[in-house]
Amino acid sequence: MTVPYVPTPRDVALEMLRLANVRPGEVVVDPGAGECGIVTLAVTVFDAVGIGIEINPALVKACIENFERLGLRGRAYVVWGDLFDFDYSIADVVTLYLGSDVNEALKPKLSRELRRGARVVSHDFEVPGWRAVKSVTVNGPLRTHRIYLYII
Ligand SMILES: C[S@@+](CC[C@H](N)C(=O)[O-])C[C@H]1O[C@@H](n2cnc3c(N)ncnc32)[C@H](O)[C@@H]1O
């Protein structure tokens, strides 16, 4: 299961965070964070605490540079590692843009670790076997995107 780096467009990311109803101080976790675009928006626009998990060290470095540039120290974090090793019990909201196979593999861990009421929003790929409470279509700069909202 390899997932290449393809960033979620800004407007789609904003809609994901809106759909998840992110509130100030909540913890938003993005497994497979890329350059931490979603994490950065969660912190700067929604006043959340953001945590990205990223396996590619060059992208981890880009996250840190973005956080420094925007002065987000203490509010935005990135973990260099495998998203399957992270403990998601800290998360209020988890954002996914990973693919159906990875969503499927991650599902038991999320079910086990997330608290009741935590929200999962997935870009383009459903979490197989979960029923979305809402799904919306968003026009991106190049194509149409689909977002699925799940509540644990
Ligand atoms: C499609 S990109 C999504 C980036 C970001 N979440 C967004 O939506 O803008 C997927 C990212 O997951 C990372 N990734 C793939 N497998 C991973 C793993 N096992 N652990 C952590 N990160 C991983 C890739 O390096 C890539 O940056």
Does any ligand 1 atom lie closer than 6 A to the CB of residue 66?
Answer: no
* Residue 68, amino acid: E
Does any ligand 1 atom lie closer than 6 A to the CB of residue 1?
Answer: no
User: Could you report the per-residue pLDDT of 65-114, keeping only the tens digit for each?
Assistant: 999 999 998 999 999 999 999 999 999 999 999 999 999 999 999 999 99
* Residue 97, amino acid: Y
Does any ligand 1 atom lie closer than 6 A to the CB of residue 53?
Answer: yes
The residue whose CA has the least distance to atom 12 of ligand 1 is 32
Convert 80-104 to b/e letters by CB count within 10 Å (16 or more is b): eeebeebebeebbbbbbbbbeebbb
Asked: is 10-151 a CATH 3.40.50.150 domain? The reply is: yes
Percent of the chain predicted with pLDDT > 90: 95
The residue count for the chain: 152
